[in-house]
Each structure stands twice: as C-alpha cells, then as structure tokens.
A = this chain, B = another copy of it.
Amino acid sequence: MELRGRATIRDVAERSGVSTTTVSHVLNEVPGKRISEQTRVRVTQAAADLHYRPNKLAQGLRTQRTGLIGFLSDHVSTTPFAGRMILGAQDAAAEAASLLVLLNSGGDPEVEEREVEALLERQVDGIVYAAFYHRVVTPPQGLRRGPAVLLDARGVDGEFSSVIPDEVGGSRAGVEQLLAAGHRRIGFVNNQDDIPARTLRLAGYRQALEVYGVPFDHSLMVEREPSARGGFDGAMALLSGIEMPTALFCATDRMAMGAYQAAQELSLSIPRDLSIVGFDDQELVADSLRPGLTTVALPHYQMGQWAVRQLLEQIDAPESQPTHALIPCPVVRRESVGPPSRAVRGLGGEPQPA
C-alpha cells in the first residue's frame, strides 16, 4: 500500500524477471513480437500485483501523442449551451481515450494567442476552438500549428474544419409546425443582433412560407434584442397591430418567454388564442413555461461530438482537406402550438403545401 509513489515499468520488469522492453511489449500487445506464454502471464501478473499504470507523461514524451485535446472557447462555460458542447466533446474524446483540457479566453484575441501557446506547450494532440454562439471568427494564428477544428463557428476563410447548426433548416421546420397547424399569419420576432442566426433564421422562415405558398409580409417581422424584454416588446408590437397574427415564431427561447408575458398582458391564452414557437431549446426556459414551449433545438451535443471526432481523424491523417458540417436542428414539440383561433381563422381558404 504505497502512499504516492506509483510502480514504474522497471518495477514490473524486476518483479517478473525480464527487461522493461519485454514488459512494454507484453503490456502494449505489440504486434509481431514473439513472447512465450509463460513470460506473458508472469508480466501481466506482476503488473497487476503492483497496480502498475504507465506514466502518460513519459509515454507522451516518447510517442509524441499525449491523448490531450485542447478545448478553447471565447465565453463558453458560463452559458448553459456550453455544457452540452463540452459534454459531446468529452464523450467523443473518451472514445479515443483522450481527455479535454479546458481554457477560455473571455474573447480577448491577445489572451487567445497566449492560451493556444499554453496548449501547444503541453503538446496537446489538437485543439477545438469553440464559439458560444454560432458566428464567423478569425481564429488565433497559433491554431495553424497543429490540427484544429472550429466548433459552432465558421472560419473567415475555409481553412479549418468546422461545424455549425443548420439554422435555416431548423427555422423552416419550426415555422412549418405553425403552418401545418393551420396558421397563415405568423409573426416573426427576430433577433436584432448582427450575427448569422439573424439572417439564417429569417431565411428559414421565408422558405417555410414559400413551401406553403404564403407570401412574405414584412409587417409581420420585428427585430429586437434577444432577451425576454426584447421578446416582450416585439410580441406586443405585433399583437397590437391592426391585423393580429395567430402565431409567433421567436428567434430565441428567451424572446419566446417575453412573448408569453405579452400574451398574458393582452389576456391571450396559449395556444388557444396564440401559438408560439421558439428557438434554442433552453430546457430551463422551454420546459418551465406554461404551457411548455415548442421550440427548435440547437444540436450542441452533436456539434461537440462531431468536432472532436473530426479532430481525431485529422490527427491521424494530417494533410487531409478541411471539411465543414451542418448539423440538423430538430423540433421539440411541447404544448404551445394549436390551431389558429376561430376569431381570425379562415379569412381566405386553406392553402396547402405547394
């Protein structure tokens, strides 16, 4: 029962009366090496007796492979999203017996360079560079010096492999929930921030309308800050319009929460008088609202997983071309969607999907 000092390969060698070479061969099951059955059992037995575990540092020094993957993000861990990305990344890393080394820069490019340096010093096998919301980034220079993958971000040029959510498809699917339920006047409370999500979710919204042959009506869209406050304002603006929409599609769940509050203010019952669909699937919000919010989930777990898997492949096959993935955003159905309210329905037939 040693307190700290772990057994080394030499201890195992001595105890089993062979050289460290042989121990290494046996324990690593090196192919093409001939070892007698007798020696094999003696060695494995000794290793077990001593609770021998190879020192990964030494191993890494020798093999130039540490089994460490750097996970560098801008603001990350703070957001609930981040957790799922990290989890996906971790699980994928575990498949290759690798571990994640976490670091976050707070968004400062200078800090970022330093942190990449720190990761490289530690001889990580590769680096995942994660953004905490989908956007276009110019990754730190240092990233070029080893395998790297962009997570929830697209590089300004296509230099690095990257993975992002299929915002357009998700958005379309979300709006189609409403269209399929019979809604034709669907308000869109969009995010006002200048990020990819804004234009992509709008594109999805328009695509869905088009599929159902509903013309895009500019007066049904407002843009606000992506908070409950913003959602509230936006929803109020749309709902107090002359011809009230029967449903709202909100660019984020927090905005959807604001829309709920607006509905309450106007004494509209969800989904009887107003249907709502959100985006993000922030469980804390979507699942806590009454009624539960139907929303589009961002595939953070899958993206994290994809990023690390891709990274591992690149590590094994350097010089491979960067690839770019688009992960689908599934709809999560809860109870905030129903048929349009009688009061407004049926103003002009029921167009079907084209």
Residue A77 at the B interface, CB < 8 A? yes
* A66 to B57 Cα, complex, angstroms: 9
Count, chain A residues at interface, CB 8 A:
56
Minimum-distance CB pairs A-B, first 8: A228-B288, A80-B80, A77-B83, A77-B86, A78-B83, A56-B122, A57-B61, A56-B121
B-contact bits for A45-60, CB 8 A (1 contact / 0 none): 0000000011111101
The interface-forming segment of A101-109, A176-184, A216-224, A237-245 is A101-109
Decide: A84 near B80, CB < 8 A? Known: A57-B123, A122-B57: no
Q: What are 24 sample pairs from A and B whose C-beta atoms fall under 8 A apart?
A: A53-B120, A54-B121, A55-B121, A55-B123, A56-B123, A57-B122, A57-B123, A76-B83, A77-B84, A78-B80, A78-B83, A78-B84, A80-B80, A86-B102, A100-B101, A100-B103, A101-B102, A228-B288, A257-B288, A258-B288, A261-B290, A282-B284, A284-B284, A284-B285
* B residues less than 8 Å from A258 (CB atoms): 288
Residue A352 at the B interface, CB < 8 A? no
The answer to whether B83 and A99 touch across the interface, beta carbons within 8 angstroms, is no
Copies in the complex: 2
Binding site for B on A (CB under 8 A): 3-4, 6, 53-58, 60-61, 66-68, 71, 76-80, 82-84, 86-87, 90, 99-104, 117-123, 145-146, 227-228, 232, 254, 257-258, 261, 264, 282, 284-285, 287-290
A75 to chain B, nearest CB (A): 9
The answer to whether A145 and B3 touch across the interface, beta carbons within 8 angstroms, is yes
The answer to whether B61 and A58 touch across the interface, beta carbons within 8 angstroms, is yes
* A353 to B290 Cα, complex, angstroms: 39
Decide: A4 near B99, CB < 8 A? Known: A57-B60, A83-B83, A288-B258: no
The answer to whether B284 and A53 touch across the interface, beta carbons within 8 angstroms, is no
* B residues less than 8 Å from A58 (CB atoms): 61
- A285 and chain B: residue at smallest CB distance: B284
* B residues less than 8 Å from A76 (CB atoms): 83
* B residues less than 8 Å from A227 (CB atoms): 288
Decide: A77 near B66, CB < 8 A? Known: A122-B99, A254-B288: no
A272 to chain B, nearest CB (A): 15
A200 to chain B, nearest CB (A): 23
